[in-house]
Structures are given as structure tokens and as C-alpha cells.
Structure 1
Amino acid sequence: MNAITPAADDPATLLVVDDDRDIRLLLANSLGARGYRVETASNTRDMDDILAKTPVDLVILDVMMPGEDGLSACRRIARQDGPEVIFLSALGDEQDRILGLEVGAGHYLPKPCSPREILATVRAALRKRGAMPAAEGDVYTFEGWRIDLGSHELFDPDGVLVGLTDGEFAVLRVFIERPRRVLTREALLAAARGPDSDAYDRAIDVQVSRLRRKLRSGGDEIIRTVRNEGYLFVPRVQRA
């Protein structure tokens, strides 16, 4: 394990998990030079040790590693409402990328990948995590659910906190701000991830599918698919 701490005030902390030492050093040096605090681990066991001791904002995770693979590790991180995950993997087929998103990653970069592209993705992921400012009390309700856009918290009708990944929250926020309107995949993608996103339509389908599972309540349809058009958030949304 290795840590590089740049001379910066309260920098974001990144964790690079890859069994390739050269990749760990390359990313630690290139991202550290940009002002980030970078921790590195060669396997998920060391990753868990770091996460237990250090507040981490973002994990850059390989898929194929000895022992537990990155997909399994990402599932655990998502279940525990852990930091945002970027996959960086030699497995770059469409199905591999879709699977990475389905297990909870916010971004998936195929190797080889330039340090500049990795840096841009890191910045986008960190903006997504913290660039949705909302005034205190910016709270909305729908069908008994309650969402706080300021604290990024969603509560079900029984008052139980529901864990959402950053990607899921970004998509839900778009629905909350544009209820009862048909939104195309392109509009959802641009609003949730920015107009310069290189993600593909299926990424939004994955996020919407995960949201549907988490928003199931008494069989009521909350997100409706509008054939050949996009998605519609069905409930009426009210400011609390």
C-alpha cells in the first residue's frame, strides 16, 4: 500500500485498487500531481483496510485481480453506500461495461486509457458527488416517499433511509425536478451526467432499472417506460 499526499487544503481522497504495480504508481503520481490525496492497494483485502481507516471520496477499481474480483468488491461498496466507483479494466466490451454499471459503478473506463481521460472522469465523478447544491429545506415528497436534495437522502413511506448510488440519485433528481413529463434517454443522460458525457443510452436504462427496484411500493408504478420515447415519473411531486 502507498499514499501520496499533495500540498493542498482538504483535497479529495482517491483509492486506486489494481494488482498491476506500474498502473498504481502511474495513477498515484499523475493524480497526486493534480492535488488529490491518493491511496493505493493491490487487492480488495488491502482496499477494505484502507476504507475502514480512511475517508475515501472515490475508488478507481480494476476488475480482474487475484482473490476477490472488482465486480464483487463494487457490489459490497454499493450495498454499504460507500464512495463512488470508477472501473478501469482490460475488459472493455459493451457487456462488460454494462455489468460494471449494474453492480454499482458510476463510470467504466477500458484499458488502455490515458491519464488525461482518467483525470477527466475523476473530476466528473467528484462533481457528480458534490456538485448538486441545494438549499437547506430543499425537500420533496411523492407517494409517501421523501427526498432531501441537500443531504442526498431518500426515505421510503415507512421513514427508512434507502441507499442510492450517486448515479441513481442523479437520475432520480432529474425525475423529481421534471415530474409527469416524458424524458428521453438523451435528456436524462445530459441532465444527470452533463452534456459532455460519453456514456451510452443503456447506462440510463441500467440506472432506471435499479431505481425501479428500490422504489417499489405496493406495486404502484413510479417510473413508466414510454415506448420509443423514454421515461415518465408518474407521481405528483410536492415540496415538503
Structure 2
Amino acid sequence: MTADQPLVAILDDEPEIRQLLSQALQEAGFRTTCFGRATEFEAGLKRQPPDVCLVDLGLPDRDGLALVHRLALESGAAIIIISGRAQVQDRVTGLELGADDYIIKPFDPAEVVARIRARLRKGRGDGAQRASRAQFAGWSAHFDRYILCDDQGHETAFSHAEGEVLRLFLESPNRLISRAQMQEALGGAAGESFDRAMDVRISRLRTKLGEDPKNPRLIKTIYGAGYIFLGDVRWG
């Protein structure tokens, strides 16, 4: 496994399920990290932010839906619930609270792998046909390695979810992008959770780009309308 492969964080209190998911994902080319309790999971996310979180709702130390909502507001990762709760209302609630997908137990590991791949592809089309590097304002964004590089050669990692937002901006520079357009391009349930998740991702991108939060020069907020990325972008 290499650092440029997407990282999936698995949170489930059943060791057999953690092992099953981890093995299937590693065989499919993903890196994984596993947790049996929410407290360990949250500490792990601070050490190494994942690209995707697989979250069971039946946790011994935390309400699963509350955790999903917090992740949607604070994390840059895609969130997929894996739960034995099969009622329609549970699925609706999970998606409304910010989950990107909902898989019901028992499941086929191949389906989980396919859902994760689909989620990581969503919003960026066929990656094989798109440039993996963009240059702008003294920065280089390497989407194949999830790295930002400044003009001094210093590297800063970004998550896949942050990369989705950055690519959206860089592919439409100097154009207004509304929240509705972002939701359509990036997926996820529309509403407060999606808006807050976008706010978090954009805030983190600004920090990594060295932006002044009170007066950003690259990613501008147009209140009530959306965002504009200001600058010239060169791909390839």
C-alpha cells in the first residue's frame, strides 16, 4: 500500500465485520484503518484524516447518528453508513444528517467496495481522461497524490473530499459556482449538513493555501450566491 491510495476508516464494534471489510478493501487497492469504539475512531481521524468513513450506527459508546452528523459538519471525508437498521426512516434520517450513502447489513463486501469507488468517482467523471495536475497562483495541485505544492517545494496533503471541491473550483475559474451547482456536482443530500460540510472543506482549503480568512484572495465567498475562484489555472 502507498500513501496515494485512498484511506478508508472503518468504525464497527464487531471485529469480524471490521476484518471482513478491511480485507476486501485492501484487496481492492484501498488503505484501511479500523476502530471498535467512537472515541478511538475520532482520535484516529485527527492523526490521519481518511477519504471515506464507514460508520456503524450501533456503537457501544456513542449515538451513531449523532456521530454521522458531526462528521458531516466537521470532516472532509465521504461518509457511508453500514447498519442493521433497515427501516426507511433510519435511512432517510442518516442521509438527512449528512451521510453520503447507506448500506444495510448483511452486505456483500463487493458491494461496499463498489459503493466506495462510485462515491470517490462522483463529481469528477472518468479520472483517466482528466489532468491530474493544475498550477495556479504559485501553487501546484497534484490530484493523483492529493498534494498541494507551493513555489518553494513545500508539500501539504489534502483529503479526497477537499480535492473534489478544489478541482471543481479549478475547472471553473473566475465563474460563480452556486451551492446548488456544488451539490449537483459533488453529490450528497442537500440541506444544512451539505452546506456546513462545504463550509468546512472550503475553510480547510483556504488554510492550506495560506489564505487570510477575513479577506481570501483565491476562494471568494459571494454571500447569498456561492463562491468564485479568482486566478488563472493551467492544467497538465
Q: TM-score, normalised by structure 1?
A: 0.63
Q: Are 1:86 and 2:58 counterparts? A: no
1:161 and 2:155 equivalent?
yes
Over 3 Å counting, the alpha-carbon distance change for 1:146 and 1:188 in structure 2 is same
In the TM superposition, what are the counterparts of 1:132-143 in structure 2 within 5 Å? 133-134=127-128, 138-143=132-137
Q: Which residue of 2 aligns with 1:57?
A: 31
Given that 2:53 and 2:77 are in contact with CA atoms closer than 8 Å, whether structure 1 keeps it comes out as yes
The structural deviation recorded for 1:134 is: 4.5
User: Which of 16, 24, 43 pairs up with 1:72?
Assistant: 43
Deviation at 1:108, TM superposition (A): 4.8
Q: Which range moved further: 139-148 or 82-91? A: 82-91
Q: Deviations over 1:130-150 (max 9, x none)?
A: 675246965321110112344
Distance in 2, matches of 1:83 and 1:209, equals 17
**Is the contact between residue 133 and residue 143 of structure 2 (CA under 8 Å) also seen in structure 1?**
yes
> Retained in 2: the 8 A contact 1:98–1:202?
no
Give the corresponding residue for 2:88.
Answer: none
1:187 corresponds to 2:159: no
Report the AA paired with residue 84 of structure 1: V
1:110-121 superposed matches below 5 A: 111=83, 112=85, 114-115=104-105
1:18 corresponds in structure 2 to 12
For 1:164 and 1:198, locate their aligned partners in 2 and report how far apart those are by CA, in whole Å. 23
Distance apart, 1:206 and its partner CA? 2.1
Please tell me whether the aligned partners of residues 24 and 109 of structure 2 are also in contact (alpha carbons under 8 angstroms): no
Q: Unaligned regions of 5+ residues in structure 1, if any?
A: 1-11, 40-54
- Judged with a 3 Å threshold, the aligned counterparts in structure 2 of structure 1 residues 226 and 217 are, in CA distance, closer, same or farther, namely closer
Native 8 Å contact 1:167 1:207 kept in 2: yes
Q: Does 1:239 align with 2:211?
A: no
Q: Name the CA distance, whole Å, in 2 between partners of 1:117 and 1:205.
A: 34
Q: Aligned to 1:106, which of 78, 82, 87? A: 78
Distance in 1 between the 2:42 and 2:211 partners? 28
Q: Is the 8 A contact 2:173 2:231 kept in 1?
A: yes
How well do the aligned residues superpose, as a CA RMSD in angstroms? 3.8
Q: Is the 8 A contact 2:52 2:80 kept in 1?
A: no
Q: Number of paired residues? A: 197
- Equivalent pair of 2:76/2:197 in contact (CA under 8 Å): no
Partners of 1:148 and 1:13 in 2: CA distance:
17
Asked whether the equivalents of residues 16 and 27 of structure 1 are also in contact (C-alpha less than 8 Å), the reply is no
Partner of residue 142, structure 2: 148
Q: After superposing the two structures, state which structure 1 stretch, 160-169 or 211-220, moved more.
A: 211-220
**TM-score, normalised with respect to structure 2:** 0.64
Quote the sequence identity (%). 22
Instruction: Tell me the CA shift for residue 185 of structure 1.
Output: 1.9
Deviations 1:182-222 (A, max 9, x none): 112232233234xxx33633222222122122112477522
Higher relative contact order (CA 8 A, sep 6+): 2
CA distance in 2, matches of 1:38, 1:133: 20
Letter aligned with residue 104 of structure 2: S
Distance 1:188 1:59, change over 3 A: farther
Tell me if structure 1 keeps the 8 A contact 2:10–2:55. Answer: no
